[in-house]
Amino acid sequence: MKVTFKITAQLLASVRADLKRSHPFAYERVGFIVAGLASCPGGVLILAREYRPINDDDYLRDPTVGAMMGPDAIRKAQEWALFQGHAIFHVHTHGGFGMPGFSGIDLRENAKFVPDFLKVAPQNIHGAIVLSHDAAAGQFWQSTESRSETIDEFLEVGVPLRKWGSHGSF
């Protein structure tokens, strides 16, 4: 199943701008992109709808990581999945240029909380995105029983139209 993540250039720029803001005590910011989903031949389209930043109060103090969400942040995102029918994608940035990659801590933490979204909204896939200044990478879960899979392709919809991922880029 080929999975493509589509987001407008405006929305992506607003996500990057928000994640740049400093936090009172966390080293970095995190947030969620809520999305709609669609089938297409041989795959699924993830169609970004909105960006929802984590409230300052919903971060936990944890000096071992760049940012740690508290249970309220995850509960709110679960409510968006359950009551508003959104697919939920956690997002943060590593900065820099070129294809970013999740750190070991990212992968461990994502695997802890992302599958919980499937418990409340199993009709959707959910996942996590990591950004750089000019690209993104992501993973998703399609059931609580399955392991995470890689998002194959990203499409930034604007001028220019930009595409990157495992099938090449433009």
Measured from the CB atom, is 94 or 163 closer to another protein?
A: 163
Query: In the range 58-87, which residues lie near another protein by CB under 8 A?
Result: 84, 86
Query: In the range 131-160, which residues lie near another protein by CB under 8 A?
Result: 142-143, 155, 157-160
* Nearest by Cα to 164 from 100, 103, 90: 100
163 forms part of the interface with another protein (CB under 8 A): yes
Q: Across the beta sheet with 149-150, what order do the strands follow?
A: 149-150, 136-141, 126-131, 87-93, 30-40, 43-53, 2-8, 153-157, 162-165
Least separation in angstroms between residue 68's CB and another protein is 28
Find the length of the chain. Answer: 170
What amino acid is encoded at 138 in this protein? Answer: G
Least separation in angstroms between residue 64's CB and another protein is 34
Q: Which sign does the torsion angle of CA 149, 124, 86, 79 carry?
A: negative
Binding-site ranges for another protein (CB under 8 A): 1, 6-11, 34-41, 44-45, 47-50, 84, 86, 122-125, 142-143, 155, 157-161, 163, 167-168, 170
